[in-house]
Structure 1
């Protein structure tokens, strides 16, 4: 079932989702000085932003169910369900747009994030036709600036398998400022090139 919406515009839905995610308990812990306390406190939430047959954008119910976490990598990973259940629509009529989650420490997308959206793209359409045009499936990680005691939506990272674009959006008032971080070229399952630099997990 939907958590919130509907929205007519994907950007409006993303902005509302960002604010909602970062209002959740321990969704951002960069202000906690003790790294062990920050890691233990941190929570990662995830949800789908999807497109419905009535040409609206909805966000699914949010979950914080975790995958097995590796303490050596100091991260939390939310387990995103592969499909959304919305009793108003047939499962075949729901179109998946953005896999949403927060990054408690405000960092960039991990290789695990990027591999996850590629796996999900193999279950869903890589590009969805909407009333406003074609929208490719992407993964989004919301962040708040680490020095904020009260978190707010300061931006998000986005990776789109269809275009290979890795982007960062920063919020300045009501405006989203886009930064192109580069094109991702995969060398193998654990390594990619970004602007000629090798990134490995």
Structure 2
């Protein structure tokens, strides 16, 4: 899956407002690289700490969660919902950082009643030589709190063709995966990080992580079996 050019689909042809930390490529920008690092994020020594910090940060962006609108104003929720995506990557020093966020939509999302985020394949961090960064987690939010889509899975499977399936870090081996954060809060002004879905191409396993206070609980949703190009089934391990 390749990065796609910026399209303004959320509000017709109007220019979307600037959002802190969000990168929108201008003319001449590489469609395959997103800048890093994200300002005021990390670096972190542990992957778990980086994920814990990334979740509320992404969910705090405008319309990153619309569960408060789903029942009363479903059409407004659909129009407003916005996905933000970024790479969590490992630097040569072994620390975890995050790229800037993208909120670029794919063509046709508005027409089909879908929302998605186009994430370039590579992070470009001017502090480091090309090829020295290790992309490990493709992060994004799901505004409606749904599980990972077939498009999400196909994307990270495609990324497994250009990135290492498993990266050796100071903590041990970390497998390439895609993560979708969600919030169940109905308070739009203070969305909570309630969990995330994770899919690992190396094992084809999908997992659900939920949070209660400072504790995280992992639940296996099964192993992915593809029925066709756009449909998958979850089988018990």
Q: Which runs of 5+ in 1 are unaligned?
A: 197-201
1:123: Cα distance to partner? Answer: 1.0
Residue 152 of structure 1: how far off its partner (Å): 1.3
Moved over 4 A (4+): none
Q: Secondary structure at the match of 1:114?
A: helix
Alpha-carbon RMSD: 1.4
Query: Corresponding residue for 1:129?
Result: 168
Normalising by structure 1, we get a TM-score of 0.93
Q: Deviations over 1:143-170 (max 9, x none)?
A: 0005343311111000000011100001
| Residue in 2 that maps onto 1:113 | 152
CA distance in 1 between counterparts of 2:102 and 2:49 reads 21
More strand by share: 1
List gaps (5 residues or longer) in structure 2. 1-35
Matches within 5 A, 1:67-106: 67-71=106-110, 73-106=112-145
Contact 2:185 2:192 in 1 (8 A): no
1:1-201 mapped onto 2 (5 Å cutoff): 1-3=36-38, 4-32=41-69, 33-71=72-110, 73-145=112-184, 147-149=186-188, 150-195=190-235
- How far apart, in 1, do the equivalents of 2:105 and 2:43 lie? 27
CA distance in 1, matches of 2:111, 2:223: 28
